[in-house]
A = this chain, B = another copy of it.
Amino acid sequence: MATLTSRKSFLRWVLRHQHKLKQMVRTCHLKVKEVYGLDEYRNEEPESQETFKFSELTTKLADPDQLRLKPDVSELKFGQVFSDHMLKAFYHERLGGWQKPVIIPFENVSLHPAAKVLHYAIELFEGLKAYRGKDGRIRIFRPDLNMNRMNSSALSSGLPTFHGEELIKCINRLVQVDQEWVPHKEGASLYIRPTLIGIDGTLGVAKSESALLFTILCPVDSYFDGKEEGVSLLADPRFARAWPGGCGDRKMGSNYGPTIRVQTEAIKRGRQQVLWLYGPEEYLTEVGTMNIFAFYIDDKGDKVLATPPLNGLILPGVTRQSIIDLALEYKEFRVEEKLLTMKDIITLQRQNRILELFGSGTACIVSPISSIEYMDELIEIPTLQQKSPIFKRFRDELYAIQYGHKKHPWAMPIE
């Protein structure tokens, strides 16, 4: 770049570099679009009037000889053993839409080999949990949020929507039928997996005219048994989980398949999970299948709890929302939905201003992070060195709500 000695040469410089400057402006413009949400571009439709109805639910119980032995919950790995029954509701456009829901003995799903779910990933799911409280009553945590997200995912997948409260009532009934599968142990729970798949037996990438909504249940033990260990992460800017103009904020199957090769790479390098970055700024987006939170001291000396905003790249987690809600009630530190870059984290860590990093999700509730491998460097995070860390406070409070130690509208006993 030549030295500029006059206004004239400056103008010449601008002329010569106008292409780059223009590009810079356009890039910034896109960045704003990228970062501050693409919601205006989603073709959301008003919620459909169509739905299956709880009042039409029929139940066919398993024969006594079909019932399975309930395993010792402390020996269970996640998602390996399922309960005795399942919920099913078919949708067929040419039969008028949603059919009557049924609870039936757990069984295989029979699909036409051209079913869209097997070829084009026309599929979505949810994850929520039923907890047996200290009073023996069963509670499900904030299922309404899962239903909203499930309908958003359906809209983005060309799958039929439904009324969330109808599915909640059907799921409650399913959990009641299999209530002995809700572990009699605090810390353990019954994981609930509603799933919606496109089943038309025709090739061609298109809206589904037939779909199957089903729900299965599996007992899971506590994620943490006494010993507290931090998660180690691999942050590699070469891989991206989601991108602007995509569907990273939906719980669609297509967000998971492509992550396996990167997760495999993390394990190979001795890290447990992937910290997904985005773009040249290396924004933190998610951890494995969790949302991420940072608790730190800002440059004015104030404590801040921050998590990335719902800008289209982030799954709107139910535990994420609950932590924000609780933190706002505490009124003890600032709570922000804001962008965090890898550079921010490194600066905070070097200046001893990062206090905690943790992930949140239905499976793990709250999971402390102890280190990040980034560009062949290991960044240690002192989450577990805090005296009374806030991640533990959130976990304990959610636990108290989920197991009925604290009465709260987020977890009412099911009838």
Contact = CB atoms under 8 A, between A and B. Distances in A.
A5 interface: yes
A349 to B, nearest CB: 21
A373 interface: no
Contacts of A3: 7, 10
Given A10-B4, A108-B112, A245 B253 contact: no
Contacts of A239: 41, 245
A78 B43 CA distance: 27
Contact of A258 (B115, B156, B204): B156
A179 interface: no
A363 to B, nearest CB: 9
A205 B24 contact: no
A118 B112 contact: no
A30 interface: yes
Contacts of A245: 237-240
Contact of A195 (B26, B107, B119, B243): B119
Interface residues of A, number: 85
Interface stretch (A135-143, A163-171, A261-269, A316-324): A261-269
Interface in A218-261: 218, 237-240, 243-247, 252-261
B43 A261 contact: yes
A195 B260 CA distance: 19
A207 to B, nearest CB: 6
Contacts of A110: 108-111
A183 B6 CA distance: 77
Contacts of A33: 238
Contact of A193 (B125, B193, B203, B255): B203
Interface stretch (A79-87, A375-383, A386-394, A401-409): A79-87
Contact of A207 (B26, B82, B112, B260): B260
B79 A203 contact: yes
Contacts of A30: 279-280
17 contacts: A27-B280, A41-B239, A42-B261, A43-B261, A79-B114, A106-B113, A108-B112, A109-B113, A109-B115, A113-B214, A121-B252, A121-B254, A205-B263, A206-B260, A240-B246, A243-B246, A247-B261
